Amino acid sequence: MPASFATLPKPPYYAVIFSSQRTQDGDAAYGEAAQRMVELAAQQPGYLGVESTRGIDGFGITVSYWADEASILAWKRNLEHTAIRERGRREWYAQFELRVTRVERAYGWRRDAAHADTAQSSDAEPGRHE
């Protein structure tokens, strides 16, 4: 899973927030399946990007970004995705929560794009990008 930022268009778009607690089982197979899921998602119409991380306690959050709800539904129905998802329930997850959201607005900040004296919170600071 990539541990980095997605490059996204201006809102509106959609985000699926997937929070999960891993079991202690099947790390190698899980890692392969997670990587395959990212590859497969990236091939879907309407896929915009993904951000994902997991702590050493096994609690993780993956956010996938989509152009519209139809793309999310098509991805949900993808057969290989469905098979991997079912294996996730059998083996890899103790619990998960999934939330489908509409992104209303977004902004970001990068250290290397900011001036040294711009530690301020207005909406117009250098370093802001959209």
Q: How far is the CB of 125 from its own copies (least distance, A)?
A: 9
Q: Does 110 bind its own copies (CB under 8 A)?
A: yes
Pattern of binders to its own copies over 12-31, x per CB under 8 A?
Answer: ---x-x-x-x-x--------
Contacts within 8 Å (CB) and 24+ apart, 26-31: 26/91, 26/92, 29/91, 30/91, 30/92
Pattern of binders to its own copies over 38-57, x per CB under 8 A?
Answer: -------------xxxxxxx
**Which tokens is 65 given?**
């970004």
**Which tokens is 46 given?**
């309407």
Q: How many CA atoms lie within 13 A of 18 on its CB side?
A: 17
Please tell me what DSSP assigns to residue 6: P
Q: Does 99 bind its own copies (CB under 8 A)?
A: yes
Stretch that binds its own copies, among 29-37, 40-48, 95-103 (CB under 8 A): 95-103
Quick count: other Cβ atoms within 10 Å of Cβ 47? 19
Binding site for its own copies (CB under 8 A): 3-6, 11, 15, 17, 19, 21, 23, 51-57, 59-61, 63, 69, 82, 85-87, 89-90, 93-112, 114, 119-121, 127
